[in-house]
Amino acid sequence: MSFFEIFLLLAVLGFFIGFISGLVGMGGGILFVPTFWFIFPLLKIKPELVVKSAVATSSACMTITTFTSAYHHLKTGYLNKEIFKNLLLGAIPGVILGASLTSLFLPPHFVKICFSLFLIVMAYRMLKGGKKKKETYKIKNEKHISNAKANSKIKIILIGMLAGILAGMLGAGGGALITPMLYNFCNVPIKEAMATNTGVVFLSSLVSTLSYIFFGIKNKVDQYFL
């Protein structure tokens, strides 16, 4: 395939991935990463770097695609700043740890296995569905902010760290984990959980992208992400 054909293919795939992600409300990384696995060999990226490049590029794409959504949710007032701050306390070091694992230690086939297992778990969860829970938090009429005091700070930080490790290691999964865990285990209203999650995904993706750039430069790799 010529460079123009590959460029056109990536543009079309990017459009459809963005459309599907917005339609069903899931993170684009779940679709970006496996797409890049198949596309990057056509760009003559070294085989040993394909998986790392896919994860890094997915993080870069997520940074761009989630910015507008995060800004919109911030304006609506649904983004819970207290929960957001606590999630970031765990997510940022988690992302750096996850990115370092994929960049420096984990073999590509192991990352693929982890990503595949994550997809299986997500598919099972979507097929099984979940019982609706009553929202137990009181919501303020003006700003729609829940009473976050009842939440355990440690619990939220751990959720953020787990999501960050997944996002940094796999280039996806952080956002898919945060919303249901906030809703099911912390009793955060669903709209507030989704809004707060979007902000965390944006900053986590940005940190993940910068981490892969750093590790790529450190290891003198010139093909880490596009």
**In sequence order, what are the beta bridge partners of 146?**
139
Whole-number pLDDT of residue 25? 52
Whole-number pLDDT of residue 22? 60
3 state SS of 70: helix
Whole-number pLDDT of residue 172? 87
Task: Compute CA 187 distance to the chain's CA centroid, rounded to the nearest angstrom.
Answer: 21
Number of Cα atoms under 13 Å in the Cβ half of residue 32: 31
Q: What are phi and psi of 78, to 5 degrees?
A: -80, -20
pLDDT in single tens digits along all 226 residues of the chain? 677 888 888 888 888 887 776 655 566 888 899 999 998 898 888 888 999 999 999 999 989 888 888 888 888 888 899 999 999 999 999 999 999 999 999 999 999 999 999 989 888 877 776 544 444 444 443 444 454 454 688 999 999 999 999 999 999 878 888 988 998 888 889 889 988 998 999 999 999 999 999 998 777 665 555 4
DSSP letter for each residue of 123-168: HHHHHH--------S-B-TTT--B-GGGS-HHHHHHHHHHHHHHHH
Whole-number pLDDT of residue 220? 64
Whole-number pLDDT of residue 133? 45
Whole-number pLDDT of residue 136? 43
Rounded Cα gap, residues 90 and 105, in angstroms: 21
Helix-strand-coil split of the chain, %, nearest 5: 75, 0, 20
